[in-house]
Amino acid sequence: MIDLPLKTNLLNQSLTLPNGFVIPNRLAKAATSETLATYSNNPTEKHIRLYQRWAASGIGMIITGNIMIDRRALGEPGNVVIEDERDFVILQQWATTVTDQGSQLWAQLNHPGKQSPKGLNSRNISASAAPFGAEMRSLFATPDEATHQEILEIIQRFGRSALICKKAGFSGVEIHAAHGYLINQFLSPLHNLRNDEWGGTPEKRRKFLMEVYAEIRKQVGAYFPIAIKLNSADFQKGGFTEEDSLATIKALSQAGIDLIEISGGTYESGVAKAPQKASTIVREAFFIDFAEKVRAQVKTPLMVTGGFRSVEGMNQALGSDAFDVVGIARLMAIDPDAPKYLLAGTNSEQTVQPIKTGIKKIDQLGVMEVLWYTQQLNRIAKGSNPKPKESGLWAFIKSVLRSGWGTYKTQRTRIK
């Protein structure tokens, strides 16, 4: 047991990426989708307020919630879309709100593929025209298989969005290749059934991701940091495995990626789900065993997200030298000031607890907890404090109504 406050707190060390870019400390807010954009997917004052609060905590880097690269392909109503410069002024404001306080703002770029609620997009595409498994099928439509031309267009879009972020003053970008979204769908043999140049072997399944990375690099140049969020595994029979993940990481590292964030799971299998092994829960970091394997084979700096709760756990994990940056998500939603305590070597007064509605069918849904935490982000964005004791059921009902209304309004806005 470590005495508090810690005498040597590894969280306070800066990190220099191989390209010379410096992250001021080892604490990062992992991406948390805010769903705070307008029905036409523009960022708003609410984003500014939320990120202002987070940056004031002293955290080294903040990764935005997933930003979509195509307004025809939303993952949720209220996603920010960056596909042109129509929101340039507010994007600049968003970036400076964070960077003026000494923190960094990295934009997470994403395409949902088929992981988008039914009715939100007029059409969904994926690697293959394969639906999700039985449990998710009622929520998500069966997609069309993306044509070669469509794949090339999406790759271009990732590059364009990244360049706009760079011009607007963001510190870096992160490619979302985890949690079952489009890039993860291409990587997974369960979802990618193609036999052309985009599927059929592990190399061909990762070609889409490698091309996305190459296009972004071409657009932003050598010195602008690019990160990737990748699953250590999807935890699905016949899906993306640890072996696939390791091979993908090696390829990305060789291609020059600047930072690799390790996560795990999908909305089908459970995103960053608490592991069953008691020893892993005690060690807090869910994916540290995998990080150790990666560390032995690649030199690219690593970030691990999922399960970190206390300053002791974070220090113990960092002390193992298996990785470099601690990613936290849920804690930042219930205590946006948490880094202030953690960087001072003490703990936040809030603890991340399992959220339940008391209704088994609902509690089994992968998105249930995400909806509760999104409500907390909403509260901070309105200038209030989070409500860590908010009822799971009430938050769920509000979220479902908000999402249904958002889907309807997004469709109406699109028709106008």
Ligand X SMILES: Cc1cc2nc3c(=O)[nH]c(=O)nc-3n(C[C@H](O)[C@H](O)[C@H](O)COP(=O)(O)O)c2cc1C
Q: What is the number of other CB atoms lying within 10 angstroms of the CB of residue 299?
A: 8
| Contacts by 78-82, CB closer than 8 A, 24 or more apart | 78/34, 78/35, 78/36, 78/37, 78/39, 78/41, 78/406, 79/33, 79/35, 79/37, 79/41, 80/34, 80/37, 80/41, 80/42, 80/43, 80/47, 81/37, 81/41, 82/107, 82/109, 82/161, 82/164, 82/165
Under the criterion CB under 6 A, does residue 366 sit at the interface with ligand X?
no
**Residue choice 47, 166, 205, 229 for contact with ligand X (CB under 6 A):** 229
- Quote the least distance from Cβ 370 to ligand X, whole Å: 4
**Residue choice 329, 334, 368, 381 for contact with ligand X (CB under 6 A):** 329
Q: Of residues 370-399, which lie at the interface with ligand X (CB under 6 A)?
A: 370, 373-374
Part of the chain binding ligand X (CB under 6 A), chosen from 18-26, 193-201, 300-308, 356-364: 300-308
Q: Which of 304, 320, 197, 259 is nearest to 16 (CA)?
A: 259
Under the criterion CB under 6 A, does residue 209 sit at the interface with ligand X?
no
Under the criterion CB under 6 A, does residue 263 sit at the interface with ligand X?
yes
Strand boundaries in 86-127, DSSP class E: 104-110, 125-126
**Residue choice 177, 187, 230, 272 for contact with ligand X (CB under 6 A):** 272
CA–CA separation, 50 vs 401, rounded Å? 22
Residue type for position 191: H
Would you say 132 or 287 has its CB closer to ligand X?
A: 287
Q: Of residues 131-170, which lie at the interface with ligand X (CB under 6 A)?
A: none
Under the criterion CB under 6 A, does residue 290 sit at the interface with ligand X?
no
- Quote the least distance from Cβ 335 to ligand X, whole Å: 12
Site string for ligand X, 93-112 (x = CB under 6 A): ---------------x----
Q: Please give the structure tokens belonging to residue 169.
A: 């003053």
Under the criterion CB under 6 A, does residue 325 sit at the interface with ligand X?
no
CA–CA separation, 41 vs 370, rounded Å? 20
CA–CA separation, 272 vs 283, rounded Å? 15
**Residue choice 25, 66, 188, 269 for contact with ligand X (CB under 6 A):** 66
Q: Which residues bind ligand X (CB under 6 A)?
A: 30-33, 65-66, 108, 176, 178-179, 229, 263, 271-272, 305-308, 328-331, 370, 373-374
